[in-house]
Amino acid sequence: MAGPELDAVVAGSGLSGLSLLAHLAAGPWRDRSVLVIDDGAPAWRPATSWGYWTTGIGLLDGVACRSYARVRVRAGGRDGVVALGRYRYRIARRRDLDRAVRLIVDDCPGFEFRPGRVESVHTAGDVAEVVVAGHTYRASWAFDSVTAEPAGRPADGHLAFTGWEVRCAEPRFDVETPVLFDFRTPQAGRSRFVYVLPEGRHRAMVELTEFTGRHTNPSTMDDMGASLAAHLDRAGPYDVVRTESAVLPLRVAPAPRRSGRVLRIGARGGLLKASTGYAYQRIQRDSAAIAASLARHGHPFALPRPRRRHRLLDAILLEVLDRDPTQLELAFRQLFLAGPAERVLRFLDEDTRPLDEIRLAATLPPAPYLRAAPAVLLRRP
């Protein structure tokens, strides 16, 4: 069998593929041969920007087009502007990320982008094989963000969103303060809130986000669109400039990432946090860890393992929402409006100690979580 012709193939140039490419190109792998393959035809209308919170400056944080020191939260009948402390809520646009990564890669002659539809990614002997339109590329390693997930992994819940970029005749938006959670929308037996990212006084991305548990089907995009329209109609006329939507499965258990010479990355690698649906910063940390592992160990598998207690807490929250969707609004009211937001963001970042988590849990009504915990523990292998 023929040996590898490339050091690595990255299947997919979405958020995870571009982030990994940047970290490889910025480190000791800059002189290697890396091929990126993408067909440019996503199965759903993708988000063109990502929100995330951070306390520092990472390799790609300079890509962010906006940074906020505060956010607005409307939950449980309360309306507050919340200071983020050491954190900043940042927005990175797809086009800016793509431009920044290509600038980094321009200094790496062995890195190449190539269009094509990835048909399969697998291990064959001592090499990874990526099949594109009938042609097989052989590499020492393959990083897969596009092929279908393995069968038999039921979702613990779903996150659905429908977003409209709107333009209004009247100034309606506070350009200094995005709305992170606004629960003043019909819940339809689910956990729903509206997210508003201003691009100016007259223009913003307004998104309806919905969490559902194991026993509730996500709403249809038409239903979510009707609810979003009703929310927007309360404040006057507007035009829809662009739309985006998706339904994402949420899973608490770690994803099966490694298969011989193949490593799954991004959402396919389980980087979507089950209790929040956020992935941007997790993907950045994962990309940095993969690049470091390749440089130090010659393989990409020396990665931090997800902490069991954080997965357990995610599972309990999803179980609570499955039983009583109204608890999400009550939890966010307490967590964001009754205490420092920095403490909550550290917890959602999985950067807290058990004592910190106990203190946060003490701010919530205990009964729903105590009732949900035994069911979660019984399901765990």
Q: How much is the average pLDDT of 285-306?
A: 95
Report the mean per-residue pLDDT for the chain: 92
Q: b vs e for 344-356, b when ≥16 Cβ sit within 10 Å of the residue's Cβ?
A: bbbbbbbebeeee
Q: How much is the average pLDDT of 28-40?
A: 92
Location of structure tokens 């913003």: 204
275 CB-near residues (< 8 Å, 6+ apart): 250, 313, 314, 317, 318, 348
Q: Is 267 helix (H, G, I), strand (E, B) or coil?
A: helix
Residues 328-350: tens digit of each pLDDT: 999 999 999 988 899 999 999 99
The 3 state secondary structure assigned to 109-171 is CCEEEEECCEEEEEEECCEEEEEECCEEEEEEEEEECCCCCCCCCCCCEEEEEEEEEEEECCC
Q: Is 316 helix (H, G, I), strand (E, B) or coil?
A: helix
Q: How much is the average pLDDT of 159-167?
A: 95
> CA angle, 369 as apex, 195 and 311 as ends, to 5°?
70
Which of 36-50, 70-84, 149-163, 272-286 is the least confident region?
36-50
Residues 67-94: tens digit of each pLDDT: 999 999 999 999 999 999 999 999 999 9
Residues 200-249: tens digit of each pLDDT: 999 999 999 999 998 999 999 999 999 999 999 987 899 999 999 999 99
Q: Is 361 helix (H, G, I), strand (E, B) or coil?
A: helix
Handedness of CA 374, 270, 276, 47 (dihedral sign): negative
Q: How much is the average pLDDT of 38-50?
A: 67
d(CA 371, CA 334): 19
Residue 15 has what pLDDT? 93
d(CA 89, CA 178): 9
Residue 315's pLDDT band (cuts 50, 70, 90): very high
Phi, psi for 35 (deg, rounded to 5)? -110, 130
d(CA 200, CA 152): 45
Q: Tell me, what amino acid is at 38?
A: D
Q: What class, spelled out in words, does domain 157-249 have in CATH?
A: alpha beta
d(CA 300, CA 362): 39
Q: How much is the average pLDDT of 1-17?
A: 88
> Check: CATH 3.40.50.2300 for 6-66+90-151+252-297?
no
Hey, where are the domains in the chain? 6-66+90-151+252-297, 157-249, 308-379
d(CA 286, CA 300): 10
